[in-house]
Structure 1
């Protein structure tokens, strides 16, 4: 599984990147703030909503600390998606939130 740090993700977020940020935290967590423009699908619903995702699109998975997004990345990767996990999660994200 590919991984990048929150700091590297912040740099990518500020550039013209093809990566789509996919936040797999719970609704209550996202209400506290998420990365601007990030798609939100809670981990528990990912299996049922993965048809909403495009296999031609690379995704950067985000959660609170990097654990759930790592599990989500493994799951999506096993279904043919191009994914990268953001280690450290939102705990280490210092960029803007919405």
Structure 2
């Protein structure tokens, strides 16, 4: 926990602006080595939650980002898990795959 406090103490004013900026659309954090891109990205992603298909059953979300659906497994169980994950989105579904 003290390490996080150490990191928080290093956040500069311009980084804080990016951390607190609105979350509509994509955000590109650009900068040279040692400029705090990772610190900003970690703070921005703090609100992101990951749920397994089992935990998502019965819930609905405005946005669902499905990462590597092939990794859910094969056969009927994998198909059911992919389906459960995909139908949770009420407004937008984004599927990211590794190629």
In the superposition, the TM-score normalised over structure 1's length comes to 0.32
Specify which structure has the bigger relative contact order, considering alpha-carbon pairs within 8 angstroms and separated by 6 or more residues: 1
Rg larger in 1 or in 2? 2
Whichever structure has more helix as a proportion of its residues is 2
